[in-house]
Structure formats: C-alpha cells, structure tokens
Amino acid sequence: MSKIRSYESFYSKNRDLMLERVNEAYEVFKKTKTYEYPKWLYGNPIGKIIKLEVEDNPNFGDTAYIEMDSARTAFLSIDMQTDFCGKNGYVDVMGYDLSLTAQALDPIKNALDVVRKTDMKVIHTREGHDPDLSDAPFNKILRSKIIGQGVGIGEIPKNGLGRLLVRGQENWDIQKDVYPIAGEHVVDKAGKGAFGSSTLHMLLKNLGVTHLVISGITTDVCVHTIMREANDYGYWCILMKDGTGATDYDNHLAAIKSIKMQGGVFGNVTDSKKLIDAVKTAFANKS
C-alpha cells in the first residue's frame, strides 16, 4: 500500500490565508451574486468600478455580476483581420460563410465607441507569419493548402489582396471599422493562442491588467485559446458573445456554452449591450 506524502508544514500558512480570502468572497457572492473586486489582491481601484452582468452563472439560467477596475481592465479585440472576415482573405478562400465571422464587427465597434472614452485599455491582436514563413509550422501550411484547394498560407489567391496570413499584407491587417487608434496596443502573434507566440502576457502585466473583456474571431479557435490561456494565468475573463463569430455557427454556440460549464470554467459570458450599459453607468457616477 502506497503511503500518502505529507508535505512540509510551512505550506499551511499561505494555504489557510488563501482559503480565508476565498471564504470571505464566497459569503459576499451568496448575498449579492457579485464577484466583488478583491482589493486585498490588487489594491484600491485606480479607476471606476464597473459592475458587469454575466449570464448563466453559477448555473444555467442564473444571473451574476463581476466588478472590474476600469483602469485595470483591457478590452481585447482578437484577429479582426480581412483574412478572417473579409473578401478574398484566408477564411473566404477556405469557402466559409463570411457573415458568420463578420457578425462580430458591429458589436465590437459599438463597444469600442464607449470604451475609448474611458481609462480602459484596448488591445488588438493579429495572427500572421513572417514573410519567410519561418514561424509557420509545416503541418499548418499543408492543411491550409488542402482546405484552400491549392492556395494556402503564404500564397496569393485569385483576386487576392496579398499573401494569405503574412505580416505586412493588406489582407492580414485589421478591418477599418474596428481599426486601432492612437494610444491602443497591437500584438502580432504567430499562433492561435497569444501567450506563447507573442508579447501579450508581458504587455498585460506591464499595463497592470487584471480583467479582460474578450471579443474577436473565431470564437472556437483563437478567441477560445487565448481565453483559456489567460484564465490559467489568473486573469478574470469575460467573453462578449455577440462580438465573436466562428466559421461554423454550431461551433460558435458550443464554444460559448463550454465557457459557462462548471460555474464558469474559463470565465464568464456577457454581451455588448450589458458591457456598454455597465461602462456608462460607472462613468456617469461622479464619485
């Protein structure tokens, strides 16, 4: 019979302190259905406290709220590039319905119009590869060529704007309706995720970000991957569901549902109206 290891006693103090904080937050949640902003962890707010409604939490059909310090919150717009939601881009060449990814444009634009008037950070990402494709795996390029019926990453499709998913090409850049403005951040990444293939994590830490409102495309691939990565690093993640889209609508719905499982296994879900209303309410308060 194997013996269960007994760890050194010095582990217990920090464990007990953490569980004490968790229990305090749990009691608050039971009374208010709110994930209260943890001052003990982040310090006093340096911006406005935004109280955002999230859906199906902790169980489907329930409503809860999450508090965010506006100055420590980033609005993340993921890969809103022509290659993923525009004519003759990568997704179009693969033969998918562009309206399913382009549906994210208007909700993101509407949210940006409000967020840009606050001290919330705005970060955009772009997926793409170096011109020599040295950061693009062989199997990724091969699969793209097969689904593109002979035209894949690094090549120019018929009537194309440039080489697919290659940095510096017109099709690789962000759509004009949600294009970055002065003072916003752009992170270029080589993969579906961003924490291992870009400087996103370093940027978030340097900006002091604790909470992420996540939008972009595609829901089930890049958006979901980045949300999962961020969740593992302790960021509070909230998906703005109408500001996302996927090449398959069922996958879009499944990706959203999976976030809500287990009381929010990857974070929480809201929509652009709830976000806009919450931000306006917070900044209408003069205190």
Name which of 111, 103, 136, 118 is nearest 214 in CA terms: 111
Per cent of the chain over pLDDT 90 is 94
Q: Which fold has domain 34-284?
A: Rossmann fold (3.40.50)
Residue 1 clears pLDDT 60, i.e. is over it = no
pLDDT at 11 (0 to 100): 85
Determine the Cα–Cα distance for residues 74 and 204; give it in Å rounded to an integer.
8
pLDDT at 6 (0 to 100): 78
Segment 129-157, tens digit of pLDDT: 999 999 999 999 999 999 999 999 999 99
Residues 139, 147 contacting (CB under 8 angstroms)? no
Residues with catalytic roles:
79, 189, 222
Segment 182-224, tens digit of pLDDT: 999 999 999 999 999 999 999 999 999 999 999 999 999 999 9
For the segment 111-126, the average pLDDT, to the nearest whole number, is 98
pLDDT at 287 (0 to 100): 58
Quick one: tokens of 122?
């705005």
Determine the Cα–Cα distance for residues 181 and 8; give it in Å rounded to an integer.
52
Banded pLDDT at 4 (limits 50, 70, 90): confident
Determine the Cα angle at 267 with ends 262 and 270, to 5°: 110
pLDDT at 136 (0 to 100): 97
First to last CA, the chain: 63
Q: Which residues contact residue 240 at a Cβ distance below 8 angstroms, ignoring those fewer than 6 apart?
A: 107, 108, 111, 213, 214, 215, 270, 271, 272, 275
Q: Establish how many alpha carbons lie within 13 A of residue 65's alpha carbon, considering only the half-sphere containing its beta carbon.
A: 16
Determine the Cα–Cα distance for residues 59 and 263; give it in Å rounded to an integer.
6
Banded pLDDT at 266 (limits 50, 70, 90): very high
pLDDT at 10 (0 to 100): 85
pLDDT at 227 (0 to 100): 98
Determine the Cα–Cα distance for residues 279 and 283; give it in Å rounded to an integer.
6
Token pair 């569980």 is found at: 19
Average pLDDT, the chain: 96
Question: Is the pTM of the predicted complex or chain greater than 0.75?
Answer: yes
- Torsion sign across C-alpha atoms 97, 99, 105, 111: negative
pLDDT at 9 (0 to 100): 84
Helix, strand, coil shares, percent, the chain, to 5: 40, 20, 40
Determine the Cα–Cα distance for residues 269 and 266; give it in Å rounded to an integer.
10
Name which of 225, 209, 227, 213 is nearest 275 in CA terms: 213
pLDDT at 8 (0 to 100): 83
Segment 38-81, tens digit of pLDDT: 999 999 999 999 999 999 999 999 999 999 999 999 999 999 99
117 vs 9, more confident: 117
Determine the Cα angle at 244 with ends 221 and 190, to 5°: 40
Determine the Cα–Cα distance for residues 153 and 91; give it in Å rounded to an integer.
11
What are the phi and psi torsion angles at 189 (to 5°)?
-130, 155
pLDDT at 7 (0 to 100): 79
Cis amide bond preceding 58, omega within 30: yes
Residue 263 clears pLDDT 80, i.e. is over it = yes
Residue 286 clears pLDDT 70, i.e. is over it = no
For the segment 12-24, the average pLDDT, to the nearest whole number, is 94
Q: Which residues contact residue 77 at a Cβ distance below 8 angstroms, ignoring those fewer than 6 apart?
A: 108, 112, 122, 123, 124, 125, 174, 178, 215, 216, 243
